[in-house]
Structure 1
Amino acid sequence: MLKHNTYFDGRVQSVGFERNGLKATVGVIEPGEYHFGTGAAERMTVTSGQLKVKQAGGNDWVTYPQGTSFEVAANSGFDVQAVGGPAAYLCEFLG
């Protein structure tokens, strides 16, 4: 079953699904800066565009271009910015 999620007045949207017992979402982030909290650990893969990310407790922004990924610890969070236009992602829940 698909589940549509909308965040930040529609500027971030995703569709959640489950495959082989694993939960994931695919989505699009409009330009801007956003903060997400995490319950489970997750892997974010940039599928189009690029994202700048600052992990919870970190001071540095790291740029992730299309085709790269980063992981976020459970019960944590991250700040994200879409760079140069909208960016698409795949979020896989790891735990």
Structure 2
Amino acid sequence: MISSNEYFDAKVKSLGYTSSIGNSTIGVMEEGEYEFGTTAHEKMNVIEGELIALLPGTTEWVSYKSGTFFEVDANTSFKVKSVGQTAYLCQYK
């Protein structure tokens, strides 16, 4: 089953699904700054564009461009700045 999600006044939209490797969402963020909470370990893959992330326990923003990823532990939160429209694949278990 595919689920549809919208966040931050529809500036972040994604489709959720389950595959053999676990749960995933694939989506697009409009340019802006967002804060997300996690309930499971997440791997955020940048498909197209750029996300600048402030990850838990860090004080420096780090750029992640197309073809790169970052990981976030469960039960934390992280901030991202989307540079223009950015497509992502978030995998979690």
- TM-score bin (small chain): over 0.9
CA distance in structure 1 between the aligned counterparts of 2:35 and 2:59, rounded to whole angstroms? 14
Give, in angstroms, the shift of residue 56 of structure 1. Answer: 2.2
Residue matched to 1:58: 58
d(CA) in 1 for partners of 2:63 and 2:19? 29
Whole-angstrom distance in 2 between the partners of 1:71 and 1:61? 14
RMSD: 0.9
Match of 1:87?
86
Q: Distance in 2 between matches of 1:62 and 1:38?
A: 19
The answer for the alignment partner of 1:44 in structure 2 is 44
**Unaligned regions of 5+ residues in structure 2, if any?**
none
**Structure 1 segments unaligned to the other structure (5+ residues):** none
Point out 4+ residue stretches in structure 1 off by more than 3 angstroms. Answer: none
- Displacement after TM superposition at 1:46 (Å): 0.2
- Matching residue of 2:73: 73
Identity among equivalent positions (%) equals: 46
Count of residue pairs brought into register by the alignment = 93
